[in-house]
Amino acid sequence: MTYDGALPRPTPETRAFWDGTKAHRLMLPWCEACGQPHFYPRAICPHCLSDRLDWRQASGRATLYSYVINHRPAKGFEAPYVIAAVTLDEGPRMLTNIETDGPPEPDALRLDMALEVVFADVTDEITLPRFRPAP
């Protein structure tokens, strides 16, 4: 099936993130001044305003912070599907989707449950990070 959903347009601030996902690595901007990662990518650290940023590979582990099961059709998704906020083990929070085996059920989606990143190669150029329950 051809992906027909919205696609990111990498910018100078986000290019390393999208290059990372394409290589199936979850990369986070990391501040060399205060030592903290952040997300989303931007030119200046939101914690200390330094521009001394570098990229490091994240573990890909996260916990489920909040979610909604969307039952309305949307381009690029097969309803119902899960829209979620996850807390990466490194600290930053990320909006994403949760992949489930079969239709998502609230009983199978516990807050704080362990998740792991998976990579969806939706086009030749773009790979989206999603999460699924960790084994």
CB-nearer residue toward Zn ion: 20 or 37: 37
Q: Is 53 in the site for Zn ion (CB under 5 A)?
A: no
Q: Is 43 in the site for Zn ion (CB under 5 A)?
A: no
Considering only 6, 23, 33, 43, the residue that binds Zn ion (CB under 5 A) is 33
CB-nearer residue toward Zn ion: 50 or 57: 50
Tallying the residues shown for the chain, one arrives at 135
| Per-residue tokens: 132 | 């699924």
Three-state DSSP class for 94?
A: strand
Considering only 26, 27, 28, 45, the residue that binds Zn ion (CB under 5 A) is 45
Min dist CB 53 to Zn ion, Å, is 8
What DSSP designation does 107 have?
G
Considering only 6, 7, 43, 48, the residue that binds Zn ion (CB under 5 A) is 48
Considering only 34, 74, 79, 134, the residue that binds Zn ion (CB under 5 A) is 34
Rounded Cα–Cα distance for residues 3 and 127 (Å): 11
Q: Is 98 in the site for Zn ion (CB under 5 A)?
A: no
Cβ atoms within 10 A of the Cβ of 121, count? Answer: 13
For 93, the enclosing helix (H) or strand (E) is strand 93-98
Contact 16, 23 (CB under 8 A): no
CB-nearer residue toward Zn ion: 33 or 134: 33
Binding residues for Zn ion, total number by CB under 5 A: 7
Contact 112, 66 (CB under 8 A): no
Residues that bind Zn ion (CB under 5 A): 31, 33-34, 45, 47-48, 50
